[in-house]
Amino acid sequence: MSTLAVVVVAALWGLAAGLLLPRAAYRFSAPDEEGWREHCPGGHPIPGWLGRARCARCEADTSYGSGTAALATATALVCAALAAATGTRPELGVWLLLAPLGVLLTVVDLRVRRLPNPLTLSLAGATLGLLGLVALVPEHAGDWPTAVWGALALGAGYYALHLINPGGMGFGDVKLAFGVGAALGWYGWPTVMLGTFAGFLFGALYGWGLVALRRAGRKSAIAFGPFLLGGAFAGLLIGAYAA
């Protein structure tokens, strides 16, 4: 299969997966005291986790979650970019399975500044487990032991930052760092360092932008998960191209 065909298939996969995310995004975007939302704004139980955030029992049958098109488009673009960088190598299957989870985590953290355990721990476990299987397949371009060490190193680094400044680095970011470190570590230590630096750079630029626009102060806290994931995305693209 040509690279162009792989990119098209990946984009279609991302589009389909993104269309299933709105309900999960709404349910996970709950206050800290709730595990997740179990009812729509009208008080009706929400069935399942996947699909449109829409309640058929409300009188107007209106959507209670927004951004279906944006979620689908973002997931499709992420998957297409990963496919263009990775080509037909077997680890692409792992990136395509994890991409919707990364988009979901980004949306939830932006909405409520929260990274739920079921998502962060699933990302870490799935990344290490799936890459372990890919390491058994010929023609892969990564190293599974380095992925394990990358997960431990980045997780430990973020934990140290959490201990130094708990208000600036949440424990959810620490748990997310394990999965991100595993993905970046697959392509080696330079990719781990590049993806980590990119995450902090993106976060700093966003924070400076808010300060310049007077929408935040120098000590204002921001949701860092999207920048951690954005740095990982940039690192994976470059690492995959260079592999």
Q: 């800290």: which residue's tokens?
A: 32
pTM surpassing 0.85? yes
Cβ–Cβ < 8 Å for 232, 183: yes
Structural domain containing residue 54: 3-242
Bridge partners, 9 (sequence order)? none
Per-residue pLDDT tens digits for 141-172: 999 999 999 999 999 999 999 999 887 788 99
Cα separation, 189 vs 237, whole angstroms: 15
Question: What pLDDT score does 154 carry?
Answer: 97
What's the total number of domains in the chain?
1
3-state secondary structure of 227: helix
> From the CA atom positions of the chain, what is the Rg in Å?
18
pLDDT tens digits, the chain, 243 residues: what are they? 688 899 999 999 999 999 999 999 999 998 877 788 888 888 888 888 998 888 877 755 556 666 788 999 999 999 999 999 999 999 999 999 999 999 999 999 999 999 999 999 999 999 999 999 999 999 999 999 999 999 999 999 999 999 998 877 889 999 999 999 999 999 999 999 999 999 999 998 988 887 777 776 666 678 899 999 999 999 999 999 998
Count how many residues are written for the chain.
Answer: 243
Bridge partners, 231 (sequence order)? none
